Each structure stands twice: as C-alpha cells, then as structure tokens.
Chain A
Amino acid sequence: MSLNTFSFGTLKDWFARVWPASVDISQTDWRLRWPLLILPFLLIALLYSLFKVNTLGAQHAQTSMQLQTAVESGLLAGKALPADAADAPFSLTRFNSGIVNLADNSSMLEKWLKQGRGTQSLAQYAQAMAALATKQSAIKGVLPDLEFWNGYSDLLSILELAVIDGDIKTPEARSMVETLRSGYAQLRTTPITASPVASIDASGPANAEVAVAKPNQIVLLQGGLERLREQRAEITRIQNRALVLAALSTALFALLLWGMWRSFNRQKNASAGNARNEQSAILRLLDEITPLAQGDLRVTATVSEASTGAVADAFNFAVYELRRLVRAVTASADLVKTSVAETRESSDQLAKASSVQAREIHRSSNYLNVMSDTMAQLSAHAVESARIADLSVQQARAGNDAVQANVDGLLRIRDQAEMTTRLMQRLVETSSAINDRVKDIELVVKRTDLLALNATIRSAAQVSYGTSANQKARDSYGNSESVLQLSDDIAHLADALGVATRDIANLSDLIQQDATITLKSMSKTVSELDDGHTTARQASNSLHEIDRVSNELNGLISDIASKSLRQAGVVKQLSANMGVINNITRDSTLQLQDSARSLEDLQLITADLRASVSDFKLPRERSPGNNLSGDNLSGKNSTDRKSLSGKLESESADGSSSDEHKKSKLDSKVARNKVTHA
C-alpha cells in the first residue's frame, strides 16, 4: 500500500476487519469507560515527558561540551592568558561591585522611605531589594540567577509605581529609584564574557589576576559539574515519570481491551440465546390464547421483547375489543330488558290511567252539562239585569231633567233676586238723596231758626227801645208787634219744619237701615242661590255620569248576556266533544294492552340475545360495584340503570364513537321512560 493509494476509507476498512464488528463500546460496562477517558491524558503526559527528557539531554550534552571546552581552555591558560582576557569590557569583580552598589543604594532608599511621611510601607520593598542584592553579593563568583533578576525587578517596579502614583514625593528618593533602575538595567544587559581569571580584581595588577586564576577556574569547573549533575538528576527524574506514565497507559490499555473482549463475549452469548427465547415465547403465546376457543375472554397474552411480542399485543387488543363488544351487547340486552319491563309497567299504568281518564271525562261531561244549564240561567239573569239597567238609565234621565228644571228655576229666582237687589240698591240710593234733601232742609231750618232768633232779638230790642226815648232806634226795628208775630210764626214754622225734617230723617234712616238689611239678605240669598245652583249643577253632572255609567253598564250586561248565550252553546259542544274523547280513550286503552303484549314478545327476544352472549367469560372488573364483573354472564341480571350507564361511560372513555352513540340511545330511552312515567 503506497501513500498515494492510502485513504481514510481504507484505514476504516482495515480497522473494521481487525476490530470485532459486534463489539459496541457503548454496550460495555461503565466501569471500563474511565480508562478510555484517562488514557489520552496519560499518553499526552508521556509524550511531554519524553520531549522534556530529550530537551534536557540536549542541554546536558551542550553543557558537557562547554565544560569540556572550559577545562581545555583552563589547561591552556596555565601557560598563557587568553588574548581577550585583558580587554574584557566588564569583569565579574566589577559586576559584583555593581551588585554591592545596588545593595547600598537599596539600603539608603530604605532609610529614606522609613523617614518619609507615609512611605514606611514602601520601605520593606527597599529592604527586600537590599537583602536580595546583599545576598547575591555575598556569593562570590556566581552569576545571579533568574529568580534574583525577576525578584529584584518586581520590587523595583513596585517602587516605580509608587513614584508614578506620587506616594514617593521627595526628589532624592525618586532620583534614587531611577538610579537603581539604571544600575539594574546596566547589570542585566551587560554580558559577562570575561575570563574568570581576569575578573577577580580589575583594579589590581595583572600579576595578581594571574595568581588567582587557578582557584577561580576550579570554582567554575565545580559550578559546571554541579550543573551537569543537576541536569542529569532532572533527566533521570523525568525519565522515571515517563516510565510510570508508560506503565499506567499500558495497564489502562490492557484493561480497556479486556473490557471490550468481555463485552464481545457477552453479546455472542446473548445472540445464541435469542433463538431459544423466540421458541419459548411462541409456545407461551399458544398456551395463553388456547382458552379463547372456549369463549374465555379473560385471557391475556404476555407481551415480551421477543418477536411474538407484537403478535401478543395485537391479540390482546383484539380480545379487548371483543370483550368490550360482549359487554356492550350484554349491557344493551340488560338495558332493553329493563326498559321493556318498565315500559310494560308504564303501559299497565297508562291503561289504568286511561280508564280513570275515561271515567273522569264522563264526569267532566256531566259537569259541562250542568255548567251549560248554569250559563243559560246566567244569560237569562244578564238579560234581566240589562232590562233593569235600561230602566235605571231612564230614571237617571228623568232625575237629570228634574234637576235641570230645578236649576232653571234657581236661575230664574236668582235673576229675580238680582233684580230685587238692584231695586233695593236704587231705593238705598234714593234714600241717600232724601237724606241729602233732608240735610238741605235742616240747613234751611237752621237758618230759619237763626232768622227767627234774630227777629225775636230785634223785636225784643224794639220793645226795649220802645220804652226808651230813642225813636230812631225803634224805627230801625219797625213795628214791634208785627215783628214779634213774624218771629213767632217763623219760629213755629221752623219748629214744625224741624220736626218734619227730623221725622223724615228718622224715616229715611229707617228705610236705609231696612234697605241695607234687605240688601244684605238679598246678597246672602243670591249667594245661597249660587251655591244651590252649583250644587244642582253638580247633581246634574252626577246624573249625567250616572246616565253614562248606566248606559255602559247596560251595554256590558247586554254583552255578557250575548256572550253567556254563546258560551252555553260552546259548553254544549264541549260536552259532545268530551264524549268523543271518552271513546278515543277507550280505544287507546285497548291499544295499550296490545302494546303490553308486544313488549312481552320483545322481552323474550332480549332474553334470547342475553343467552347468546352468556357463554362468553369476562374478566372481573376492578370496580367492586360492577354487575358485569362475574366470570360468566349467564344469570347476571342487571337492573341498575346507573351502573349500566357508568359501564358504558367507562367504555366510551376509550375513544369509541359507537359507545357514545349507544350512550345517547340509552339516554333517549331513559328520557322516554321518564316521560311515560310522568
């Protein structure tokens, strides 16, 4: 197989040939799976260890070569110094001096930081730096390792951060940190290529360097050998670890192979037993379904993982359906039987009720005849009431006419009273005019009286003067006798006029008083006449209302009479119809008896149907109250309609639409039986 023809499919085919096809890793024991998970990590660790050993071996070889070169160079240096030793740019002595400077500067910085405000915590870093540098300076002739450089650089970086953050504020300290960083960088970047022999003391004379060259060479050789030993020990340690990992990987791989082999054997044994299992399953299925031939529906085939499992499942389903069908037929037969019995009972009751109904109809017909006679009497009474109401209307009209005549008379009386009142009023006015004339007469009387008095006075004066000598005065008053006579006559006249005037005034007052009283009386009479007129008008209105109501009553009574007559005819017709209904009821009774006989036949048919399914045996139901729970259906008379309905409901829960149809039919039958009972 060349590389060109090699492909992944080929590899797969080869692996398939090598690896057992029936071995499935997923079927192995779970306890064998963890080596499969750990094994890749062990192999990775093993490869890493081998790589490390290889690297360390290369370094060890290189160090050996260097040491060999150095030993050879040292042997040559015993004769003459190398040419470049005197020109070394930087000797180890000066390097150590730089380390000492770092230690001194670090100590000084530590002191400054301890004295500074808020920088005491930073002093420990400076102290650590000083300790590192002091430690390194104490080791003569050995270059600082990476731990020193990194440790010192980290501490110095902390102090530089403090400078950047402003925690270190004094310019001397800041300058010292910069000095330390520059010194560190110089020492870190300076190559130490000088010969150890020449680097003992750069300031000393060349002879002195030569004198100490051998011990320093020995020290370097010792260091190189030490490094070789350390590398050798490291290589050995890693090799041991790789051996352990290889052993573990081998053990795990062996364990994995063992598990796979074991699973393969198990599957091989299982395939060999399948044939035996199939045969036994077929025999067991035959044994289980044999009782079905005798009508035993209680059988149930065992469903297993064998090939007969599906057949057993189908057989169980068929038996279940057959069981449900037999139960439904049985339940329906019982239900029909019960319904027939109830219907028969209802028919009997209905026949009895029809007899009672016929008797009651006959009695009702008699009542209707009596009612018809009563209606006829009521009609006659209504006619009489209408006649009386008519008479009442006539009397109300006569009363209304009389009241109207009374009202007219009152109106005439009122007119006469008003005329009398007007006359009396005119009389009062005339009396007032008489009074005015009387007042005029009184005035005349008064003046006449005054005139008479003056005449009397003058006559008296004349008499008085007559006795005197004053003739002129006597002439001025005239004849005393005549004047006196005149005055007497005037006085008498005035007296008579006064008396007449007083009499007239008294009479006038009397007339006026009488007229006033009469006027008041007439006013009262007129008022009473008005009241009487109002009352008479109200009576007339009431009589009008009585007339109207009587007319309405007359119409209603006439209507009642006519309707009573019609109702009497209707009752007669109803009585005749009741006789017809009685005959129909009698015929219905006979038909009901025929129906009862038909129901007996139907009950016999139902018993035959029940007997036809009685040979089937059904399993016992889980529900303790189920009447179909017996082994044999014969003799199980279920009369509990609720239990039957419950059974049908439980069967309909399996999703069969035919069961729902049966249930609806059962409900309709129950409803019909209830109506029949009602």
Chain B
Amino acid sequence: MSEFNHILFSAGGLALAARSASIHSLHDGLVTSAEPGTSDWFSGVAVAEGRLLPITDLGLYLNGGTSTGRVIEVARDLGIAGLRIDEVHGVSRNRPEAIGPETSDAPVNEDSSHDGQWPVRNTAINDLGRRYRIVDIAHLVKSSRFLNVKCEPA
C-alpha cells in the first residue's frame, strides 16, 4: 500500500482529489441546518455519527458551482469540518503529477480573495484519462478564510 492513495471526487463541476489520510469518512444524507450571517459557501452545521459537524460547500468555496452530494468528513486530527461535494469517483493510487500554469483549469486557480491560502495545488491525479486537481485539506482547514465563516460585505 503506497502513500499515494487519493480519493477522487467532484465538487461544483471541479474534478478534485484528496489524500485519503486527510479524510475521516464519507457521509451520505446529512441534514444541514443553515446559519444566518455566514458566507454563502458555508452550508451550516449537521450531525454526523452523533457529532456536530460544520459543513462547507467546497465547490462554492473554490469558486465553482454549488455542490449537492455527499459530505467528506475531514480527518479528526486535522480538525472538525465537513466538505460537501457532488460525487465520489473512486480511489486512486496513482502518483500525483505536476501541472504547469498553462494547463491549469481556470476555476481552480487561486484568486485574490484567498490571500495566498489557496488549497488547490498544482499537482493532479490522472485516472482513466481524467485529471483531478489535488486539494490540500490540511492546509484548507487551517486557513483563516476557511475558519472565518462570517459574511463579509462585497
């Protein structure tokens, strides 16, 4: 078993991949309670296996579309957080490959609002002819923008 074990999924139309070690489990059918005064990408809180779990719409957070599928619970040693995605495509043990700026997808690129805390790396997993950009969940859950769910005026 190698350390290049990634979960392939899609969120907001973005094909993403995350290390299996940064994920605790996948949940399906969680009921989310919206919280007023929070950002649009913060879906609210839900109860998973008896534990309160804040849910973030990963597609909206990465400037993509709205995600409506399962929820990825972040490894508990990294923090308590849930990421709503669209669909899990599988597990890949392929080695990540670096990609150049000219080949990066525009929606997945960093913008000025993240202040250098963009979680998507310039590496990707190629599986069955499709490229999944790797999301650094440990970096994501520790970024100040992710932790600040307060709604900021435009």
Contacts and interface: CB of A to CB of B under 8 A. Distances in A.
Contacts of A465: 21
Nearest to A462: B1
A294 interface: no
A460 B28 contact: no
B112 interface: no
B11 interface: no
Interface residues of A, number: 21
Contacts of B90: 453
A453 B7 contact: yes
B122 to A, nearest CB: 22
Given A453-B7, A453-B88, A453-B91, A460 B20 contact: yes
A612 interface: no
Nearest to B77: A473
A447 B28 contact: yes
B1 A457 contact: no
A464 B70 contact: no
A458 interface: yes
A5 interface: no
A466 B21 CA distance: 11
Contact-residue bracket for chain B: 10 to 19
Interface string A453-471: 1101111110111110000
A457 B26 contact: yes
B28 A456 contact: no
Contact of A453 (B1, B2, B26, B75): B26
A446 B26 CA distance: 12
Given A459-B1, A480-B1, A464 B21 contact: yes
A458 B75 CA distance: 10
B85 to A, nearest CB: 12
B25 interface: yes
B24 interface: yes
Interface in A288-308: none
Contact of A460 (B5, B70, B77, B88): B5
Given A446-B28, A450-B28, A450-B70, A457 B23 contact: yes
Contacts of A459: 1, 20
A558 B5 CA distance: 109
B5 A463 contact: yes
A467 B21 CA distance: 12
A459 B70 CA distance: 20
Contacts of B7: 453, 456-457
8 contacts: A446-B28, A450-B70, A453-B26, A457-B25, A458-B25, A459-B20, A460-B19, A460-B91
Interface of A: 446-447, 449-450, 453-454, 456-461, 463-467, 473, 480-481, 484
Sorted nearest first, the 7 A-B pairs with minimum C-beta distance are A460-B20, A464-B21, A460-B5, A463-B1, A454-B25, A456-B91, A461-B21
